[in-house]
Amino acid sequence: MRIILLGPPGSGKGTQAQRLVQRYGIVQLSTGEMLRAAVAAGTPVGLKAKEIMASGGLVPDDVVVGIISDRIDQPDAKNGFILDGFPRTVPQAEALDELLKHKHFKLDAVIELRVNESALLNRVETRVAQMRERGEEVRLDDTPEVLTKRLASYRNQTEPLIHYYSERRKLSTIDGMMAIDEVTRAIHRLLLALGAVEPKVHGKAHGKARARSAAKAGPAKKAKAAKKSAKKPAKTTKKAAKSRKAAKKAVTGPKKAAKKTVKKKAAKKTARKAVKKGAKKAAKKVTKKRAKR
């Protein structure tokens, strides 16, 4: 995935960029870092940028685009990249389009994190006030005054990019005032809809993270699980005993019934024999009496 994140200072671009890097295995390209790296490496474009920076001038767009061109050809940018701090103007966006077209690369998404500027200023004012109450040092570039200037600069230079990419059907807007995790989920849903695929390595890492989380379960949770598992064998034993008892009944029942039947028959037979024997005795007595007469 090749992505541009747009949004004013304080909109959370840096946080979301890092999460995208971890999730999709892509690289975050910051123009400032790329310039410093090119100068340190002594590349032709880097040497050119060094001369301009040494004289106090602003590095022109063609030099910045040249540095980006060298950077996205490196192996770690093979799976994609997130551009941070570039483009800032419409001419830079046009130069980037030409570069990507020349390399046969496609820009997959331009994501705007839309925020409420008044809310951003209130956040900064609250944070600065809390830091001063605690006696902490406040950074010179982290004050409401500086933020106001940076927001004005963003509106004048960078906001026209929203219209530029909207016309080219590349722009997607997300509410940057949501909680950080909600913004992350919204970006993820958007990228999935655009055909993004998470690398398998990330899936394995995610699985390992779940395993580590399970391993760190508290003692109470473990004890509860042990108690639950200890109860299961007892229930199983009771069920087994009931099953054996039922099976025994199924076998012994017919046997008992058969024995009762045999006993009844024997009793009837004995009774018949007794009746016959009694009749014979009675007959003999009658015969004897007649003989005496």
- The alpha carbon torsion through 132, 138, 144, 145 (nearest 10 deg) reads 120
Strands annotated E in the chain: 2-6, 27-30, 81-84, 109-114, 171-175
Q: Is the pLDDT of residue 181 over 80?
A: yes
268-274 average pLDDT score: 64
What is the rounded CA–CA span in Å between residue 25 and residue 76? 9
Domain at 2-26+79-215, CATH homologous superfamily: P-loop containing nucleotide triphosphate hydrolases (3.40.50.300)
What's the CA gap between 80 and 191, in Å, rounded?
Answer: 13
Beta strands 2-6 and 109-114, pairing class: parallel
| Cβ-Cβ contacts under 8 Å for 79 (sequence gap 6 or more) | 1, 24, 25, 26, 199
Q: Which amino acid is at 90?
A: V
Q: Which two tokens stand for residue 75?
A: 């192996």
Main-chain phi, psi angles of 137, to 5 degrees:
-80, 135
Catalytic residues: 13, 88, 127, 139, 150
Strand order in the sheet with 109-114: 27-30, 81-84, 2-6, 109-114, 171-175
pLDDT digits (tens, 9 = 90+) for 90-142: 999 999 999 999 999 999 999 999 999 888 888 888 888 888 889 888 777 67
List pLDDT tens digits, range 19-35: 999 999 999 998 878 88
Contacts of 101 (CB under 8 A, 6+ apart): none
**Nearest by Cα to 23 from 205, 214, 190, 211:** 205
What's the pTM value of the predicted model, to 2 decimals? 0.62
